[in-house]
C-alpha cells in the first residue's frame, strides 16, 4: 500500500474518477455485523476489489515512518473516528494502486466500513468518485457484541474488548446511521438482515444485487431504472 503523500483528496473540488470509470459500492454495518465475511464472498463471485477502511488504517499505523501512525493508533484504541482527510486519502491511494497493478480490470471496488460519517461520504464523492449504492448489514447490538467478544478471544485486536466494543457501537449509531439514512432517502441503500446465518445473508445480498443490475463474474454493472 503506498504511503500517504499529502491529503490531496481532501481539498479536491471535483471527483478524480467518474462513475463510468470506477464502480464503488460502500459496505456499512455495525462492528461485528459480518461485513468482512460477506465481502470475501463478493470478491470471489463478483470480481470486486475489497478495500477495508479499518484495515488500511491499521496498516498505516504500523507502517515505518508514517506521519499519521501514532495518531491513528490513538483514535482506534479510543473507538473514535480518524480524521476524514487521512481515511479518504488512504482509500484513494489503494484504489489507484489496484488500478495501476492491473489486478482489477473492471475497476470495481467494495469499500468496507466507510463512510463512517456524512462528511466522509460527501468528501469521498466530491473528490474521489461517486458511489453507486451502499450495502447496509443491519444487526442488533446484542448479536454484534457476542460475535466480537468471541472474535476477541483469538484476534489479538486491542479494540475487541467490552469497553472498546461499546464505544464503537455508540460511535456507529451516532455518526454512521445518518449516512445510511441520507443514502436511503436517495434510494441508494441495499438493506440486509445480518442476524441470519452467513450463507443466508449472502443469498439475500445476491438477490438484492441482482435487483440493482449486478451479476456474478463476468460482472457487468448495469444501472437499473431505480438507480
Q: Which residues are annotated binding-site positions?
A: 32-37, 58, 80-82, 113-116, 120, 151, 157, 168, 196
Q: How far is it, in rounded angstroms, from Cα 188 to Cα 134?
A: 6
Q: Are the C-beta atoms of residues 26 and 115 closer than 8 Å to each other?
A: yes
Contact 4, 89 (CB under 8 A): yes
Instruction: Report the run of H or E that residue 200 belongs to, with start and end.
Output: helix 198-211
Separation CA 178–CA 183 (nearest Å)? 9
115 upstream amide cis, omega within 30 of 0: yes
Question: Where does residue 28 rank: exposed (0-12), middle (13-18), buried (19+ CB within 10 A)?
Answer: buried
Could you list the residues known to form a binding site for a ribonucleoside 5'-phosphate, using ranges: 58, 80-82, 113-116, 120, 157, 168
Radius of gyration, alpha carbons of the chain? 17
Using CA atoms, how far residue 219 sits from 18, 107, 129, in Å, is 19, 11, 20
- 14 and 106 Cβ atoms separated by less than 8 Å: no
Residues annotated within a binding site for ATP: 32-37, 151, 196
Q: Strand, coil or helix: what is 49?
A: strand
The sheet carrying 49-52 orders its strands as 49-52, 108-112, 23-29, 133-138, 189-193
SS3 11: helix
Amino acid at each position: 500500500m503506498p504511503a500517504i503523500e499529502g491529503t490531496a483528496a481532501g481539498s479536491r473540488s471535483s471527483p478524480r474518477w467518474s462513475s463510468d470509470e470506477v464502480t464503488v459500492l460502500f459496505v456499512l454495518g455495525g462492528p461485528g455485523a459480518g461485513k468482512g465475511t460477506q465481502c470475501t464472498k463478493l470478491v470471489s463471485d463478483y470480481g470486486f476489489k475489497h478495500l477495508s477502511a479499518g484495515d488500511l488504517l491499521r496498516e498505516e499505523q504500523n507502517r515505518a515512518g508514517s506521519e499519521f501512525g501514532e495518531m491513528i493508533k490513538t483514535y482506534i484504541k479510543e473507538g473514535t473516528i480518524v480524521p476524514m482527510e487521512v481515511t479518504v486519502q488512504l482509500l484513494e491511494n489503494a484504489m489507484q494502486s489496484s488500478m495501476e497493478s492491473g489486478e482489477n480490470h473492471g475497476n470495481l471496488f467494495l469499500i468496507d466500513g466507510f463512510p463512517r460519517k456524512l462528511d466522509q461520504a460527501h468528501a469521498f464523492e466530491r473528490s474521489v468518485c461517486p458511489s453507486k449504492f451502499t450495502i447496509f448489514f443491519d444487526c442488533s447490538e446484542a448479536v454484534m457484541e457476542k460475535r466480537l467478544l468471541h472474535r476477541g478471544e483469538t484476534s489479538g485486536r486491542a479494540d475487541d474488548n467490552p469497553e472498546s466494543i461499546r464505544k464503537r457501537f455508540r460511535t456507529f449509531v451516532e455518526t454512521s446511521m445518518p449516512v445510511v439514512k441520507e443514502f436511503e432517502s436517495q434510494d441508494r441503500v441495499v438493506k440486509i438482515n445480518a442476524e441470519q446465518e452467513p450463507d443466508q445473508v449472502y443469498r439475500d445480498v445476491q438477490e438484492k444485487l441482482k435487483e440493482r443490475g449486478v451479476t456474478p463474474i463476468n460482472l457487468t454493472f448495469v444501472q437499473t431504472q431505480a438507480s
